[in-house]
Amino acid sequence: MYQHTRIDGSVIDLPVGKAVCVGRNYAAHARELGNAVPDAPILFLKPRTAIVPLSPSFAIPAGRGSCHHETEIAVLIGHTAKGLTVEAVPGVIAGYGLALDLTLRDLQNELKKQGYPWEVAKAFDGACPLSPFLSPEAFGAVETAGLALSVNGAPRQNGLTRDMMTGIYELVAYISHIFTLEPGDVVLTGTPEGVAALASGDVLELTLLNRGQPLAVFSTRVA
């Protein structure tokens, strides 16, 4: 059973809500999948049942084609957010962590070809492994943050928030004009290039950074 927690293991007194995700927020990732770079954020939802603990391990669906990792900075919402200005966004954020937006890529590609929604490939049970959270004070300035992922010791993904098409505060404000964000919801802010398929037994190391320095390192494996 997943519960929002802090890096020190203490429980955050917030319910587990929905995850609001953005597609193609890094131009290089859009291009690596042959997608057009959007003019505005592409949003989709993962339900509460998609959220599971990142560590010590997580499962991927069997027999449903390739399952790709998409490493993302996750923003935990601490207060109801509706129709926010960018300037008001810091006041509703309870923490920052990392998430894997697990994606059944073969299925997603087939759905896209047919013009169907992506949810079957993106919102299945366990599709959002989520780390513990740092406080906003420990995380620091959103403009200088970044992430990194290695799989079986080999670098896979590296991304900086300055390379996002829509920055973190701007993204949360934009979402709040479409979906009301409630305490315990999580915003996934997009993945950099380097996505690839996972396999059972893979060992992952996810690093949350700011100004090039590691703030937290999360180790996990594919069950």
Given a cut of 90, whether residue 94 has pLDDT beyond it is yes
The confidence score (pLDDT) of residue 53 equals 98
pLDDT one-digit tens code per residue, 212-222: 999 999 999 99
Which residue reads 């494996």 in tokens? 221
Which residue ranges make up each domain of the chain?
A: 19-222
pTM, to two decimals? 0.95
d(CA 126, CA 155): 24
Neighbours of 140 (CB within 10 A): 16
User: By the 8 A CB rule, do 134 and 97 touch?
Assistant: yes
Of the chain, the percentage scoring pLDDT greater than 90 comes to 91
The confidence score (pLDDT) of residue 139 equals 98
User: By the 8 A CB rule, do 188 and 20 touch?
Assistant: yes
Region 111-115: mean pLDDT is 92
The confidence score (pLDDT) of residue 128 equals 98
**Reduced 3-state DSSP string for 130-179:** ECCEECHHHHCCHHHEEEEEEECCEEEEEEEHHHECCCHHHHHHHHHCCC
Region 70-87: mean pLDDT is 98
For 19-222, CATH gives 3.90.850.10
DSSP string covering the chain: ----BBTTSPBPS-----EEEEES-BHHHHHHTTPPPPSS-EEEEE-GGGEEE-SSEE---SSSS-EEE-EEEEEEE-S-BSS--GGGGGGGEEEEEEEE--EEHHHHHHHHHHT--SHHHHSSTT-EEE--BB-HHHH--GGGEEEEEEETTEEEEEEEGGGBSS-HHHHHHHHHTTS-B-TT-EEE----S--EE--TT-EEEEEEEETTEEEEEEEEEE-
pLDDT one-digit tens code per residue, 163-200: 999 999 999 999 999 999 999 999 999 999 999 999 99
Given a cut of 60, whether residue 30 has pLDDT beyond it is no
Region 96-107: mean pLDDT is 97
Given a cut of 80, whether residue 32 has pLDDT beyond it is no
pLDDT one-digit tens code per residue, 130-169: 999 999 999 999 999 999 999 999 999 999 999 999 999 9
Q: Which class for 92: exposed (0-12), middle (13-18), buried (19 or more C-beta within 10 A)?
A: buried
The confidence score (pLDDT) of residue 122 equals 97
